[in-house]
Each structure stands twice: as structure tokens, then as C-alpha cells.
Amino acid sequence: MVTAKARAVHGPDQNFREAELKRRELDTTDVLIEIKFAGICHSDIHTAHGEWGEVNYPLVPGHEIAGIVTDVGENVTKYKVGDRVGVGCMVDSCGECKNCREGEEQYCLKGNIPTYAGTDKYGEPTQGGYSTHIVVTEEFVLSIPENIGLDEAAPLLCAGITTFSPLNHWNAGPGKKVAVVGMGGLGHMAVKIAHAMGAEVTVLSRTLNKKEDGLKFGAKNYFATSDEATFTELAGTFDLIINTVSAKIDLNAYLSLLALNGSLVNVGAPAEPLEVNAFSLIPHRRSFAGSLIGGIRETQDMLNFCAEHNIAPSIEIISADEIDQAYKRVLDSDVKYRFVIDISTM
């Protein structure tokens, strides 16, 4: 059994404190990973603050994990000691239901097992990547291509796949007009990936503050949603809109920007319900949809795609003592564009 050093939060309004985690003894198909970097996702903050339902504290968040394999169970075939690997938002699923068999483990009919704030198949609470080590069954471990740094790989495991999967599913590519709502951790990845897929990308952000970055990341156009003229000018334009904003937005105004057969896909998760007027959908056969991360096979495809197209998130590396401060800055939208914890500072 490995004792990992970690940073845990002990209640909804508590700061992070040093903690120790017992990682389980390796089962035959388990991989022990020494974590090098862990990204900070908005979901970590919602969960740590108890905003998404009851949490069993102490909680160690973190589901954007990159590191090195340091031990493997006797039946592991995919990985060996020294491999560069990642772990994303889930660490297991039933493996038998229709969705699991189709490689859509995130939609497991029995519920996937989240990397933290879940219960594993041994009945133990799962604890995430703000820690020095983690044990994961090899089926839920990803291989990180050589030309992606481990620090930059970490945010791909949630922000990358969360945006890649809907872009892939709704066929973003040449000839398609894609709008990305919000230019945060998710949004900036959506811009880079959609551009690399060959789509024409437009950013819809509250202000034009990050316009220069958006164009550098591959957007062709950048509009401020605080300007009402934006909604008149862009009416009926887009084949696909990816909404990365987790605050409540005027959905009907955004739906009016879709072309015939267009889809607006929510990946941001606002706490309150969103209101959809059926007449925002009916006249142009529009769809309103949601999407949750991606399956393991698709996550590996995403990593390979990013390696091939030289795509990496824009990151700011912090030490383990700066997590609380980083949370505040994420909530103030003061991050360009993802915080990544250097786990060697644990």
C-alpha cells in the first residue's frame, strides 16, 4: 500500500490542508501512477464547495492527472513502469452495459465511478489528483504522446475531452461554422480544437478583453455578447454552438444564432435550470443538447489528435500551497487559461 501526500478540503468553506491518503494495494489489472501535474477544473471548485450535492469530506479533488507509471499489477498489458500516462474524470465503470460496451463509459448505465467524490468497487471513497500517487485500473489510464509535456497534458484530460467530444460528435470540420460561448478553461480548448478540425470558429464572450488571445488560438471572429447588436448580426449563422459557460445565460438568444439544423450543446453546467422556448427550436429544426466528457477510446483519440496538431492548453503552473488562491482567481475569471498544480511541491 502506498501512502500519498495530498491536499484535502475538510468542509464547504474550508481552505486546503496537507493530508495523507492510503492508495489501495495493486489489484492484478491496476497501475500505480506517480502524479507529476494536476489541473484545476471548475468542477473541483463546485464539488469542494459542496455546490453539487452532499460531499464526504475530507475531499481531495483533481481529475486532470498526468504522471509516470511506477508499478503495475501482474496482469497489466497496456502499460509498463516509466510510461507517461494520464487519468481523467472517471476511474471505472461497470464494463458490461450497452454504453460501456460501445466505449461510452462516461454514460455507463450504472453510473461511471468519478475520479473523486465517488465510491470505488471496493466500497472506498475515490480521491483525486491533488496528491502524489493514484491507483487506477489500466482500462481507465490514458497514454500521453511524447510531444505533449505532462504539465500541458493534464488539462486535456477534462477540458480537452469535454470540448473535443461534442465537436467530434456534431462533426465540426471544414465548411462548418462553430461558435464557442465563453473563453475560459473549456472555451479556449474548444477554440483550439475546432480550429484544428478545420471549422470556422467564432468566440462569443461577454467582453472583447480576450479577443487577441482568441484570434491567436485560431478563432476567425470574436464578438462581445454584452453588445446586443451581436445577436442581430449573427442571427441564423452557426451549425454548432458549444456553450462552456456554467452561469445562467439567455438560452433563447443563443439558439437564435443557429442555422437550419444547428445544435447548441451545453458542456458548462449551471446550477439553476435553463429556460428553452419551443419556438426557439421548431422553426429552424434546431437542437439543444448536452455532452459529458468522452469515453476512454475517444479520450485517447483526443490526446493523439492534440499531439498531431500541436495543440496544448495555455497554462499557469502553481504550487500546492496556492490552490485556495487559484480557486478565487478561477471564480474571478482571472486565469489564462488553466491552473496546473506542480505535484512535486506537495
Residues at the contact surface with Zn ion, assessed by CB under 5 A = 41, 43, 93-94, 97, 100, 108, 158
Cell of 330: 478561477
Between residues 255 and 315, which has the closer beta carbon with respect to Zn ion? 315
Closest CB to Zn ion among residues 43, 280: 43
Residue (162 or 202) nearer to Zn ion, CB? 162
E strands, 188-284, in order = 200-205, 221-224, 238-243, 258-266
Q: Residue 115's CB: how many other CB atoms inside 10 A?
A: 27
Least gap, CB of 20 to Zn ion (angstroms): 24
Grid coordinates of 145:
504522446
Q: What's the closest the beta carbon of residue 300 comes to Zn ion, in angstroms?
A: 18
Nearest to 301 by CA among 177, 169, 187: 169
Q: Are the C-beta atoms of residues 18 and 2 closer than 8 Å to each other?
A: no
Shortest Å, Cβ 314 to Zn ion: 16
> Residue 93 or 202: which CB sits closer to Zn ion?
93
Cell of 304: 493523439
| E runs forming strands in 73-226 | 84-87, 90-92, 113-114, 133-137, 142-143, 177-181, 200-205, 221-224
**Min dist. Cβ of residue 281 to Zn ion (A):** 28
By C-beta, is 156 or 158 nearer to Zn ion?
A: 158
Smallest gap from Cβ 118 to Zn ion, in A, equals 14
β-bridge partners, 242? 180, 265
103: its cell numbers: 466505449
Which CB sits closer to Zn ion, 241 or 296?
Answer: 296
Tell me the CA distances in angstroms from 16 to 10, 38, 57, 175, 323, one per residue in order.
Answer: 8, 15, 12, 47, 7
Nearer to Zn ion, 39 or 262 (CB): 39
Cα 99 to Cα 109: distance, rounded to the nearest angstrom:
7
Instruction: List for the chain the helix, strand, coil content (%; round to 5).
Output: 30, 30, 45
Q: CB of 185: closest distance to Zn ion in angstroms?
A: 8
Q: Which amino acid is at 334?
A: D
Residue with cell 462516461: 106
Number of other CB atoms surrounding residue 231 within 10 Å: 16
Nearest distance in Å: CB 93, Zn ion: 5
Q: Specify the residue, 61 or 262, whose C-beta has the smaller distance to Zn ion.
A: 61
Q: How far is the CB of 167 from Zn ion (least distance, A)?
A: 17
